[in-house]
Amino acid sequence: MTNADRIVSLEKLAYNAWTACYVEQYGQWFLRADEGVTRRANSVFPFGAPPTSNLQDAVEHCIGFYKKRNILPRFQVTSASKPDGLDKSLEDLGFAFEMRTYMQTASIDRLLHFETTIKVEILTDSEPAWIHTYAEAGGFGKHSMKIREGIFRRIALKKAFALATTDEDGIGAGLGILEGDWLGLFGIETLPGQRRKGVATAVNHALASWGAQQGARGVYLQVEASNDSALKLYNKMGFKTEYHYWYRTLGLDTANDSP
């Protein structure tokens, strides 16, 4: 498998795990929209080539798609994005570079070594206690949470919601999504007052234990390049960077929300 093939295979896993409310297929570009909440769910995902050889026309089509929905036009880009030279073309058209993010992977066995004393419950759905903890820990408002809950409901793959508690109060949350023998870790959040106490490690371990029981052998996650504390944690847990992706965004000065 070439490096480009590896990138595409992992990107497809992440794409399938985080489903936007609306997706328009445009050749082998997929235009995702979900009221502007999370960049992933509101950006063009270029699996392959658009339906026209005129790249500027293709980009203009995408700009119109997002402007009609009052969302910033945005592309999620990797070194394997098609057509070749897409990133430079977007830059030339005024799309600003935004949010370098690492795709990291590890053997699930590595995560199983990190047992902790923190209690973590595995839920089959996003129950109110999980939602409350996730929202508070991540600092997500009501509108953002409404859209995120829609994303959670649309996940067609097998999934697990991890809730870390102390004295029955939620202190951390995370989501595991299984496809084939891969477990994706998403939304690992810890309450501000509980950080650097092993909560995230406990949540990751609990989700890995669940994933291993379902037959997962590998784990992947996405972490912003600027998140030093998360990078240190995942390095300790055995994660290695496979590649990075970034966003190209038009009108970036008004951008908000999370990746």
Q: Give the pLDDT confidence of 120-130 residue by residue, as tens digits.
A: 999 999 999 99
Convert the pLDDT of each residue in 12-32 to its tens digit.
Answer: 999 999 999 999 999 999 999
Convert the pLDDT of each residue in 203-225 to its tens digit.
Answer: 999 999 999 999 999 999 999 99
Calculate the average pLDDT of the chain: 94
In sign, the C-alpha dihedral spanning 206, 209, 215, 217 is positive
Partners of 243 in beta bridges: 103
User: Is pLDDT above 80 for 238?
Assistant: yes
**Which fold does the domain 105-242 belong to in CATH?**
Aminopeptidase (3.40.630)
Domain residue extents for the chain: 3-102+245-254, 105-242
Q: Letter for the amino acid at 252?
A: L
19: left (phi over 0), alpha (psi -120 to 50) or beta: beta
CA angle 249, 151, 74 (to 5 degrees): 10
Provide the pLDDT for residue 256.
45
Convert the pLDDT of each residue in 187-198 to its tens digit.
Answer: 999 999 999 999
Question: C-alpha distances in angstroms, 223 versus 9, 46, 178, 191?
Answer: 18, 20, 18, 18
Question: Could you give the percent of the chain with pLDDT greater than 90?
Answer: 91
Convert the pLDDT of each residue in 128-185 to its tens digit.
Answer: 999 999 999 999 999 999 999 999 999 999 999 999 999 889 999 999 999 999 999 9
Convert the pLDDT of each residue in 35-46 to its tens digit.
Answer: 999 999 999 999
Provide the pLDDT for residue 259.
55
Least confident of 80-84, 92-96, 110-114, 254-258: 254-258
Partners of 77 in beta bridges: 246
Q: Letter for the amino acid at 123?
A: L
Helices H, strands E: what count in the chain? 8, 11
Provide the pLDDT for residue 254.
43
- What pTM did the predictor assign? 0.93
CA 76 to chain centre: 11
Q: Letter for the amino acid at 66?
A: Y
Question: C-alpha distances in angstroms, 238 versus 113, 132, 215, 231?
Answer: 10, 30, 19, 11
